[in-house]
């Protein structure tokens, strides 16, 4: 197991480096001068030259990349020349709030979707199943920004039950201290994810319910609750675990729309704005973080398989 984990971590480094090379090259494919884009049309040649020199842009591309990679290895993700702040501090500042918002939504979504999916499977093609399927299709086909705007229109502007913004506090403690403001953004992300996860869970549980070991358990007189919890739920979770793994990078990025609509600054929106405004250090720095999270999420999912299914072994 340890060897497997080490190999996967080594692969992770290669994957992350590959992603950064790709992003780095794509950035430099844009024609024109980056310094001109940043400094504006009035910038003099001397000013542009000084900017290029200060940011290492006057050096060959290969050298620029290796300088960046060297800084990353030393824990330095770069400095935003638009936001006047280090990328490290941006990530450190924004990631905890993202984790609270999107992490809460993910946990809630699983807490709702897993029993819902199992219940649908058990009552397949009955009223509950049809109703839940209909709602899931409706929510899944609804973009999260649309859902967010509807919730704000109805519950913040219409009846003033909740504020239209997410908490505006700068610290995680401050965010948690304003639970009313968390309701709408978390509800937006949760509802969309419930729709997705419950469909996976239902499908998996339907397959599991048809397995011989479930029939055997029932024929042995095991209470239905025990059959569902011990045999159906555990075995059905294997496929959903993949989703969990892939959801970890989503914690960092999928909140973009919610960040946009609910005025909640986070990594997703920061990355988007960096891409639009040619803030290369921020783009590259967040690419590294999200790349690492993606590989880590995938690795955690693989390890979880082994926990859920004793037949799975990594050598």
**How big is the chain by its Cα radius of gyration, in Å?**
24
Pair of tokens at residue 278 = 């040619």
The helix/strand/coil state of 58 is coil
Cβ atoms within 10 A of the Cβ of 267, count? Answer: 27
Q: How far is the CB of 262 from another protein (least distance, A)?
A: 7
**CA-to-CA distance for 201 and 196, rounded, in angstroms?**
9
Q: How far is the CB of 117 from another protein (least distance, A)?
A: 30
Packed helices 87-122 and 267-276: angle between N→C axes, nearest 10 degrees: 120
Which is closer to another protein, CB of 23 or CB of 113? 23
DSSP 282: H
Give contact residues for another protein (rule: CB under 8 A).
30-34, 36-44, 46-47, 50-51, 81-85, 89-90, 93, 145-146, 149-150, 152-154, 156-158, 160, 163-171, 174, 178, 180-181, 257, 259-265, 269, 272-273, 275-278
Which is closer to another protein, CB of 97 or CB of 198? 97
**Residue given tokens 């609804």 in the structure block:** 142
Which is closer to another protein, CB of 35 or CB of 232? 35
**CA-to-CA distance for 249 and 66, rounded, in angstroms?**
25
Q: How far is the CB of 275 from another protein (least distance, A)?
A: 8
Q: How far is the CB of 103 from another protein (least distance, A)?
A: 19
Which is closer to another protein, CB of 47 or CB of 207? 47
Which is closer to another protein, CB of 93 or CB of 234? 93
Sequence-ordered list of residues with C-beta below 8 angstroms from that of 12, at least 6 positions apart, any chain: 292, 295, 296, 299
Q: How far is the CB of 82 from another protein (least distance, A)?
A: 6
């Amino acid at each position: 197991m340890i060897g497997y984990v080490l190999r996967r971590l080594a692969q992770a480094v290669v994957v992350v480096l590959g992603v950064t090379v790709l992003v780095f090259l794509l950035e430099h494919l844009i024609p024109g001068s980056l310094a001109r884009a940043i400094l504006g049309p009035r910038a003099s040649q001397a000013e542009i030259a000084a900017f290029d020199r200060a940011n290492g842009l006057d050096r060959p591309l290969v050298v620029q990349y290796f300088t960046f990679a060297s800084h990353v290895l030393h824990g330095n993700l770069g400095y935003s020349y638009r936001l006047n702040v280090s990328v490290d501090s941006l990530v450190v500042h924004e990631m905890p709030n993202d984790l609270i918002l999107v992490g809460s939504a993910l946990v809630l979504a699983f807490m709702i979707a897993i029993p819902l999916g199992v219940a649908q499977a058990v009552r397949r093609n009955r009223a509950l199943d049809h109703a839940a399927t209909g709602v899931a299709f409706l929510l899944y086909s609804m973009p999260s920004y649309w859902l967010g705007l509807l919730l704000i229109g109805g519950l913040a502007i219409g009846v003033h039950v909740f504020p239209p913004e997410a908490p505006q506090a700068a610290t995680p403690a401050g965010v948690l201290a304003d639970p009313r403001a968390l309701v709408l953004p978390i509800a937006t992300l949760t509802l969309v994810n419930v729709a997705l996860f419950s469909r996976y869970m239902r499908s998996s549980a339907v397959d599991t319910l048809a397995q011989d070991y479930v029939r055997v358990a029932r024929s042995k007189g095991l209470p239905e609750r025990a059959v569902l919890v011990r045999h159906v739920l555990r075995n059905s979770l294997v496929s959903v675990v993949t989703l969990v793994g892939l959801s970890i990078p989503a914690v960092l990025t999928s909140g973009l729309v919610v960040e946009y609509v609910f005025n909640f600054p986070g990594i997703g929106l920061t990355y988007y704005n960096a891409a639009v405004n040619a803030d290369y250090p921020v783009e590259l720095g967040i690419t590294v973080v999200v790349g690492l999270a993606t590989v880590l999420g995938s690795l955690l999912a693989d390890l979880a398989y082994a926990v859920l299914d004793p037949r799975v072994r990594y050598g």
